Amino acid sequence: MTSVDDPVASGVCLETAHGAIALPTFLPDATRASVRTVDTLDLRTVGIDAVMVNAMHLAQRPGLRNVRQAGGLHRLMAWDGAIVSDSGGFQVLSLLRKQGKTSSIRAGGVTFREPDNGKKTVLTPGKVIEWQFSLKSDVAIALDDCTGPDDSAAEQLASTERTIRWFQQARKAYDLQCRQRREADPPLLVGVVQGGADPTLRERCVDALVESGAQGFGFGGWPLNAAGELEFDMFALIARLTPSNAPLFALGVGRPEHLVSLCQLTRRWVFDCTIPTRDARHGRLYAFVPDIATRGLTPDRGFYRNVYIHDEENARVDEPICATCDCPTCRRYSRAYLHHLFRVRDGLADRLATLHNLRFYTRLLEMLRAGGGPVPATAG
């Protein structure tokens, strides 16, 4: 266990039916049950322990009946690591608020139409939990009502109260699912802390979630301010208010310097973000600076640099993306080859780039778990 008072304590784990995962950890985005361009064997090769899926998207396609028939999502994906499922509420609610359709957000849940086929879907706290039991997720995240950074104090208050009520309903649904399914390994139940920039609301939300039996806590709302800086004080507040053995889900936080920054507070973080995989497909690669072994990590961008593989200068570089990286891409291929693959738009380019970027993140997390210092390149 660790706390903000003891930021370098070790041994914090996310206990799941698919193994204990040392924290902090990073989850790649597997919204529709795949991390784009790589398979689950690839994920293990680069040191990934858990993935983040989206319950709502999977309930739509392939559908829960198909997942059940396959024996659960782990069987369907051929993945023996942990699966964390998000409710899908963030995507729906932020879209509705953006479109000004807040009347669709009611006490009982959210009504919306799927953009591609116009099909009406109702998202309720209970239904979202039932979906996540059907998927056999290791961690289930309750439905929450997220506001935008510019919303009024009244809207922040309403969103917080709604999030608390929804969590209470989610908890009842969770207990019912445990009884009905006689689940030996029920998922860990995570509540999302809302409250915008108001510390009093955030505290009220944490207290209510703890009281209703939340086993982990997500940071809701907008992790970055208008200037793109981390809402550090609010993360610090949540780290301080939550039970010291509870994992903290920094939903959508993924810039390397932000991971380092938050690990100064505590090591209980579970990060998830599309940055490494999306950037990989755009040819934006991550490399530690050559002297990382002596330099260590800092909460700024000084410990890494981006390699833009499309740049013409890479066409003749017979070196790996990162000299200290042990990923399959860096072990075998040069920047010149990768540059060529991107140029001719070969699908292999995306896969090799994704493997490398994910390994950059798992190396970063290894360093953070070791206390922020560098680790030698050994895993593969």
- Binding stretches for Zn ion (CB under 5 A): 325, 327, 329-330, 356
Separation between Cα atoms, residue 265 and residue 81, nearest integer Å: 27
- Toward Zn ion, which CB reaches closer, 208 or 322? 322
Nearest distance, CB of residue 308 and Zn ion, angstroms: 15
Count Cα neighbours of 204 within 13 Å in the Cβ-side half-sphere: 18
User: What distances in angstroms separate CA 87 from CA 56, 77, 243, 362, one per listed residue?
Assistant: 6, 19, 23, 25
Rank residues 132 and 324 by Cβ distance to Zn ion and give the closer one.
324
The catalytic position among 49, 138, 144, 272 is: 272
For the bound state, the minimum distance from the C-beta of residue 46 to Zn ion, rounded and expressed in Å, comes to 9
Q: Is 272 a catalytic residue?
A: yes
Structural tokens at position 261: 């920054």
H/E element holding 50? strand 50-54
Considering beta carbons, is residue 161 or 326 the nearer one to Zn ion?
326
Q: How far is the CB of 270 from Zn ion (least distance, A)?
A: 23
Please give the backbone phi and psi of residue 304, each rounded to the nearest 5 degrees, phi first: -145, 170
Decide: 156 and 195 in contact? Cβ < 8 Å: yes
Active site residue 198: no
CB of 151 to Zn ion, least distance (A): 41
**Judged by CB, which is closer to Zn ion: 106, or 332?**
332
Q: Which helix (H) or strand (E) holds 260?
A: helix 256-262
Distance between CA atoms of 273 and 258, rounded to whole angstroms? 12
Task: Identify whether 62 is preceded by a cis peptide bond (ω within 30 of 0).
Answer: yes
Q: Are 61 and 102 in contact (CB under 8 A)?
A: no
Contact 288, 322 (CB under 8 A): yes
DSSP 47-108: T--EEEEEHHHHIIIIIHHHHHHTTSHHHHHT--SEEEEE-SHHHHHHHHHHTT-GGGEETT
Query: Catalytic residue among 49, 86, 138, 144, which?
Result: 86
Q: Determine which helix (DSSP H) or strand (DSSP E) holds 356, and give its type and residue range.
A: helix 347-369
- Using the minimum distance from each CB to Zn ion, give the nearer residue, 258 or 356: 356
- Rounded least distance, CB 2 to Zn ion, Å: 30
What gap in Å lies between CA 147 and CA 94, rounded to an integer? Answer: 7
Burial category of 101 from C-beta neighbours within 10 Å (exposed 0-12, middle 13-18, buried 19 and up): middle
Q: How far apart are CA 55 and CA 85, in angstroms?
A: 6
- Which lies closer to Zn ion via its Cβ, residue 307 or residue 330? 330
Terminal-to-terminal C-alpha distance of the chain: 29
Least spacing, CB of residue 327 vs Zn ion, in Å? 3
Whether 225 contacts 253, CB under 8 Å: no
**In the numeric block, which tokens belong to residue 322?**
């990162």
Residue 146 or 309: the one with the smaller Cβ distance to Zn ion is 309
Closest CB 133 distance from Zn ion, rounded Å:
38
- Which of the residues are catalytic? 86, 272
